[in-house]
Structures are given as C-alpha cells and as structure tokens.
Amino acid sequence: MSNTPFSEGIQSGRLKPAELTENFGDIHPRFDEHEALVAADRCYFCHDAPCMTACPTDIDIPLFIRQIATGTPEAAAKTIFSQNILGGMCARVCPTETLCEEVCVREVAEGKPVEIGRLQRFATDKLVETGEHPFERAEATGKKIAVVGAGPAGLSAAHRLAGYGHDVTVFDARSKAGGLNEFGIAAYKSVDSFAEREVDWLLKIGGITVETGKKLGDGLSLAFLQADYDAVFLGIGLGGVNALGVDGEDKDGVDDAVDFIADLRQAKDLGDLPIGRDVVVIGGGMTAVDAAVQAKLLGALNVSLVYRRGKDRMNASEFEQDLAASKGVRIITNASPKAVIGNGAVREIEFEYTDDDLKPTGQTVCLPADQVFKAIGQTLEGDGLPELERGKIKVDGTGRTSVDGIWAGGDCATGGDDLTVTAVAEGRDAAEDINAALSA
C-alpha cells in the first residue's frame, strides 16, 4: 500500500498497521492493581455522596471503591452491577467529567477527582473476566416479555426482567446485539470486542432469547408483540439521521457519521477503511467528536469539526472537545453549512458564520473537503408507535407509554439525555414497573 495522509481523495491504508494499532488502542488503559489501590485510597467514603447522586443509575460509588480498597474487587463489581448491569461499558463511555467525577469532593477541593470511571472499570473487568455471572434468576413466572432493541436500554430491561423469572425475547434490527455499545461508540473506548463480551456475559443470567435481524415495521409488528407477550418494552433508539438541508447534500463523499462509526467498529482491518484527506464533520455532539477523532486516527491529513453555535453550547463535553483538539482535530464554531460544492463528488463545503442564536452574519468561508460526515442529530423512525412528544415516544417516570402494556426507554423515549448510562437506568426502572404490573 502506498497511500499516505497526503493522498488525494478518499483512500484506505493511509497509515501503517502499527500506527493504526497504536492510534486505536485503549484510550484509558485499565488500572493495574497498584494504581487501583492508590486511586481507591483517595475516596473519602462521603456520606450521601454527591457522586452517587450524580450517577443516573445511583451506583453506590463510595461502597464499591472501599471494596476495591479492601481487596475485594469482585464484591465491588457486584455493588456496581446490582444498579447498572452495563457498568463495564459505562465505565468506558460515561462522561464522568460531567457526572460523578465532576461533583467528587476532591474535584472541589483539589481539582482532581477520585478516578471513579477507571476504578469502576477495574472492578467490573475483574468480574466479567472470571466469566462468572453474579446474579441468579428467581423462579420462573411463565410470563413472556418482548424487548425491542438490544441496546443499553433493552439489555438492561431484559436482564432485570429475566432476574425476576420472566421469559424475555429481545429483538434487534441489526445482525448483532449491543446497539450503540456495539455500533455507535468510538473504537478506542471499547477495545477487544468488549461490547460483544459484555452482552455474552449479561445473557448468562438465562431466560433471555436474542433474535437479530428483526426490525419493527419490517417483519415485526407491535400488534403481534402485544398479542403474543404479556408486556412490551421499546428500546429502539433513533434510527434516522437528520439531513443538512443544503444544496449539494447528495454528492458523493457526504456520509452519515453514525454509519462511519459503525463501519469502523465492525471493520476486520482498519487499513481497509477509506477516509478522506480533508474531512469535515458537521455537528457538536459526541457522535461528531467520535467521527472526527477517528477520521484523524485513520490518517486523514486535515479534520475539521464544524458546529453552528459557540463552543460552550456543544453537547460534547469539555473532555471530548479537548480530546479532539489533542488529536489534531480543528474545531470551528459559529458556522452553519450553506452548500456542498463539487462536481459529482464533494470538493469543498461552504459555511456562513452565525451567532449563538443562529443569526446569519453574511460572512462565509469555504473548507476543502473530499469527505463530509453529518452528525447533527438522529430521529425516531417507525410508524404506529405510541404517542410521541417532541419526536420521541412519550413516557412517564416509570417508562409507561400511552399504550397499556407498552413501556419504552433509552434514546427513543422522552426523558433521556442520549447517554448510555441514562438508557440503562430507564431500562432497569421500566423493568421494575413491568414486574410490578405483572405481579399485581
């Protein structure tokens, strides 16, 4: 292969295999035993701890850190998993800097929080790697529950429901379970097929059947599920991608960031994956950062992340923004796309500078681009769903939808904030409510 970052157009193999391996290595390598003990030692075991309150799944963080400190990481893992069965993935992808670690009293005191995320990873990895599953199913109830979507919300709900002795069938449109954990997260956050291993481990509780390649509205109907199952949980995520709505959007080289991220995660050999020399990512969230950083790590020469409002309005956390900057991604703010320019394929893209209220300034700028990734949000897809509110399935605090017997949670439902950990909490809480309803 003779391609380099300078090769024109969209090309594969811009970097040597060794460079790719290094670039896509674990972003936060796991603590070794010594590091874990030193990190755990810093926890004050706060009363009614702020970190615990900040965690959407209410993990008893002081307790699990103390269990690490006293040499029982397996017990720590159990403390974590009892609240959040996907605690292993959350340890990798949670924006801890805006959740538990942001409110850690040592962050307040010293500007250096206890490294809760990495400690959680240390404990959960230990237990998952033993292959043991720490939870047992209650006696079989004979009740059947359909879970649509094998992402964080669906898996969390399925596990909790199976634990109560119900028989759960999880349907997913893709070829593999895991949802965004498997298809939608930057590769360096989940190395060594962790998402897949986590799903396998989760299913060890028993009582859960996964049926892949089954999409709602495409061989799978809600009416059928309602008739055949005692309850239905929808955790279908957001399948659609927002369009830019500008001229030239259909030109070659203009792609959805979520597809790029999914292809990258599923790639057997990163060297086979084509990427542009000049890449422009449009958006300001985690997906935009994941796409931009990975484009750079694949060997793109120039990567710009362009967001229409100011830096402080970006959904991507400061940590993510800094990560992008440190990898050489140029972040451009207050610029809205105006037109995609090129003859058949994109050559450049024109932006107009806009203020924080998106008021156009009349000033424009053109960025060279042989590849453009759209990451300006996703939308709910599907017909015949329960009542919607602002484009998502309307749910109450327990995940109940407008239709009796159907619950929903995760990104497809109102109330979420597009975080894995929130989806896990919503799936779990809906499962509790389903169980209560079925036991009543």
Partner 1 sequence: MANLESDFVGIKSPNPFWLASAPPTDKEYNVRRAFEAGWGGVVWKTLGSEGPPVVNVNGPRYGAIHGADRRLLGLNNIELITDRPLEVNLEEMARVKRDYPDHAVIASVMVPCEEEEWKRILPMIAETGCDGFELNFGCPHGMAERGMGSAVGQVPDYIEMVARWCKEATDLPVIVKLTPNITNILYPAEAALRGGADAVSLINTINSITSVNLDAMSPEPMIDGKGTHGGYCGPAVKPIAMNMVAEIARNPETARLPISGIGGITTWRDAAEFMALGAGNVQVCTAAMTYGFKIVQEMISGLSQWMDEKGYESTADFVGMATPNVTDWQYLNLNHITKAEINQDDCISCGRCYAACEDTSHQAIAMSEDRVFTVKDDECVACNLCVNVCPVEGCITMRTLDAGEMDERTDTPVAAEYGNWTTHPNNPMAKAAE
Binder to partner 1 among 26, 28, 30, 66 (CB under 8 A)?
A: 66
Indicate whether 129 belongs to the interface with partner 1 (CB under 8 A).
no
Cα–Cα distance between 178 and 212 in angstroms, integer? 11
**One symbol per residue from 71 to 100: x for binding partner 1 (CB under 8 A), - otherwise; what is it?**
xx-xx--xx---------------------
Q: Is 374 helix (H, G, I), strand (E, B) or coil?
A: strand
Helix, strand and coil content of the chain, in percent to the nearest 5, comes to 40, 20, 40
Q: Point out which span in 6-14, 36-44, 115-123, 185-193 binds partner 1 (CB under 8 A).
A: 36-44
User: Is residue 301 within 8 Å of 277, Cβ to Cβ?
Assistant: yes
Indicate whether 47 belongs to the interface with partner 1 (CB under 8 A).
yes
Indicate whether 67 belongs to the interface with partner 1 (CB under 8 A).
yes
Q: What angle in degrees, to the nearest 10, is found between the helix axes of 33-40 and 116-130?
A: 130
Indicate whether 30 belongs to the interface with partner 1 (CB under 8 A).
no
- Regarding beta strands 219-220 and 231-234, do their DSSP bridges make them parallel or antiparallel, or are they unpaired? unpaired
Q: Point out which span in 35-43, 244-252, 367-375, 388-396 binds partner 1 (CB under 8 A).
A: 35-43
Closest approach, Cβ 45 to partner 1, in A, equals 5
Q: Point out which span in 30-38, 182-190, 334-342, 422-430 binds partner 1 (CB under 8 A).
A: 30-38
User: Which amino acid, residue 1?
Assistant: M
Binder to partner 1 among 42, 214, 251, 394 (CB under 8 A)?
A: 42
Nearer to partner 1, 78 or 143 (CB): 78
Nearer to partner 1, 42 or 189 (CB): 42
Q: Is 145 helix (H, G, I), strand (E, B) or coil?
A: strand
Nearer to partner 1, 63 or 438 (CB): 63
Q: Point out which span in 66-74, 84-92, 259-267, 350-358 binds partner 1 (CB under 8 A).
A: 66-74
Cα–Cα distance between 205 and 414 in angstroms, integer? 29
Indicate whether 126 belongs to the interface with partner 1 (CB under 8 A).
no
Q: Point out which span in 41-49, 50-58, 316-324, 426-434 binds partner 1 (CB under 8 A).
A: 41-49
Q: Is 215 helix (H, G, I), strand (E, B) or coil?
A: strand
Binder to partner 1 among 6, 17, 25, 45 (CB under 8 A)?
A: 45
Nearer to partner 1, 48 or 312 (CB): 48
Nearer to partner 1, 62 or 235 (CB): 62
Largest CA-CA distance found in the chain, in angstroms, rounded = 67
Closest approach, Cβ 78 to partner 1, in A, equals 7
Nearest to 123, CA basis, from 74, 58, 71, 63: 74
- Positive or negative torsion for Cα 409, 411, 417, 422: positive
Binder to partner 1 among 21, 53, 70, 209 (CB under 8 A)?
A: 70
DSSP string, 356-377: TT--EEEEEEEEE-SEEEE-S-
Q: Cite the DSSP H helix spans in 84-184.
A: 87-93, 100-103, 105-110, 116-130, 152-163, 180-183
Binder to partner 1 among 2, 18, 34, 344 (CB under 8 A)?
A: 34
User: Which amino acid, residue 354?
Assistant: T
DSSP string, 269-292: -GGG--B-SEEEEE-SSHHHHHHH
User: Which amino acid, residue 84?
Assistant: N
Q: Which residues bind partner 1 (CB under 8 A)?
A: 33-34, 37, 41-42, 45, 47, 62-63, 66-67, 69-72, 74-75, 78-79
